[in-house]
Each structure stands twice: as structure tokens, then as C-alpha cells.
Amino acid sequence: MSKVSEIKLAGKYIISGQIELLTGLHIGTSKDTMKIGDLDNPVIKDAFGKPYIPGSSLKGKMRSLMEYYHSLISPHNLVYSKKDKKQEIRLHMCGEKECKVCGLFGNAPSKQESVAGYEVNIDYKVPTRIIVRDAYLIDESITDEMRQNMDFDYTEIKFENNLDRILSTANPRQTERVPAGAKFNMEIVVNRFQIDNVDDSTNFLEETIIAMKLLEDDYLGGQGTRGYGRVKFIELFIQYRDINYYSNKSNNIKEMKFNNLSELFDGKTLIKTKISNLS
């Protein structure tokens, strides 16, 4: 039998702003969607042929960073989300009601195999709080000056060499990337729930902001260890819409604007009082 809670939606936090690339970004696309004549290693593009940042890439990276942050990367905390000859994907997933990571990013009730080798029965569905939208390119962020050094309208080609250590022969490989300076419109929604009469308050908003801050000190997309994918969140705006907002009973909106995440942090620590008026 699965465990069930009483869940009420209390409201929604809408975090909007821009993602600015501080270094080139490469979010790859699967080989089966490639056409003849495409590059070796293209970036993912939207229906208009412009690069974008899939919400799933952003969410996946934030989840992974928070699993490390909450010390959930150990054989007992990890399960296989995929395990076949080609690929193994291990991630944290559990059925704990109090789990901050599953509570924000979601879990799937199921039988899983833990990395430590035993069967895990996840029998409680933690409601997912976060929704991460696809982030679309802001056209004007690609300036004429930037275009002079670019190979295509929205992207550049980088050649990477892997050197053979004995013969010193190079194995050049081309990678498409979105250039530094490009900006994307982003939006993240965080649902605020009351679960068995316990209100989330700003807890999961705080978790989300910490995940964004961790991402700034990490990287998005591929080849991060070569310097790719450094991003910064700018022009940020958080709005809290409580449940009455949607039924027109009241216009209960609380909001705050800030230029960047550093304004909310004292070093690495989130200053919770700065967002407490959003509760």
C-alpha cells in the first residue's frame, strides 16, 4: 500500500529573469535528430533554428547539484534510473516525505535497485514543486560585434584537439556552441503546498535559489571542465501568488526584484530574511 497525504496548493512562486552566458554553452542534441551535412557536435535548437536551453537540462543540473549539497550521493541514497548495456544513470530518489530533493524535483513511486545492491520500494509520491520552463534566446543579446567572430547567426564553432601522447598527432573535433554574452529568458515556478497541514512556507523557494547559486559556481551543458557553460542569473523578479489570486478573491501578490543572486547571499549563505516578505 502506498502512503497518501492530504495535499493543498497554497500558492506559486514565479521566478523570472535572464540567464547570461559568461562562457560558450554547448547543450548537445541526440544524434538521431541530425541531418546530413550537420556538424559533428551540434547544439539543440528550437523550431526556429535558434539555440535554447531546455527546461529539462536546467532542472536536471539543479537536481544533481542539490543531491551533492544535501549529501545524498552515496550507494545507499542512489538508485538506477537507467541500467542497460549502453548506459547507466544513477540518481537520488526516495520516498521520504521530508526529503528536500525529492520534494522539490519529484520522485516516482516504484521498485528501484539501489546502487548498494538491494531493492528499494519507493511507496510515497512526494509532490513535485518545481517547474522549469525552456529558456529561449533573446535575439538582441547577440550583437553585431559578436557576430563578426561567429560562424553562424547564433552560434560559433570551436575546434578541440585531443593529443595522442606518443605521436603528438591531433584528433580535431568540432563543437558548436552559443557564444559568451548571449542571454536567454528564464522562468521557474515553485509550487507551495500544505501537506498534512504543514505549510512549505518559503522552504522550497530557498532551495531553488540555492540551486541557482550552486549552478553559477558550476556549469551548464557539456564540456564544463574545459570552461564551457558558465552562467549567471540576472534581472531577477520573484512573484508570490497565493491561491486566492487564481480565484479572483483577492489580488494577493507579493513580489521583489533584484539584479543578481549575490544580492541575496552573504558569501555562500542565503540571507533568508531577504525573501521572508514573500511568505
Q: Which residues bind Zn ion (CB under 5 A)?
A: 94, 99, 101-102
Q: Which is nearer to Zn ion, 21 or 99 (CB)?
A: 99
CB of 136 to Zn ion, least distance (A): 31
Side-chain half-sphere CA neighbours of 187 within 13 A: 8
Q: Please state, as a whole number, how many other Cβ atoms lie within 10 Å of the Cβ of residue 193.
A: 19
Q: Which amino acid is at 32?
A: D
Q: Rounded distance, CA 279 to CA 129, Å?
A: 16
Q: Rounded distance, CA 128 to CA 178, Å?
A: 31
Name the 3-class secondary structure at 171.
Answer: strand
In 93-152 the beta strands, taken as DSSP E runs, fall at 110-113, 119-122, 130-132, 135-137
**Measuring CA to CA, which residue among 262, 260, 264, 274 is closest to residue 18?**
260
CB of 67 to Zn ion, least distance (A): 9
CB of 269 to Zn ion, least distance (A): 23
In 84-155 the beta strands, taken as DSSP E runs, fall at 88-92, 110-113, 119-122, 130-132, 135-137
CB of 108 to Zn ion, least distance (A): 11
Q: Which is nearer to Zn ion, 21 or 122 (CB)?
A: 122
Q: Which is nearer to Zn ion, 91 or 188 (CB)?
A: 91
59 φ, ψ (degrees, to nearest 5): -65, -45
Q: Which is nearer to Zn ion, 53 or 94 (CB)?
A: 94
Q: Which is nearer to Zn ion, 19 or 99 (CB)?
A: 99
- Positive or negative, the CA dihedral 106, 196, 189, 217 is negative
CB of 152 to Zn ion, least distance (A): 42
Q: Which is nearer to Zn ion, 78 or 264 (CB)?
A: 78
Q: Which is nearer to Zn ion, 26 or 100 (CB)?
A: 100
Q: Please state, as a whole number, how many other Cβ atoms lie within 10 Å of the Cβ of residue 15.
A: 20
Q: Which three cell numbers stand for residue 43?
A: 547544439
CB of 101 to Zn ion, least distance (A): 5
CB of 99 to Zn ion, least distance (A): 3
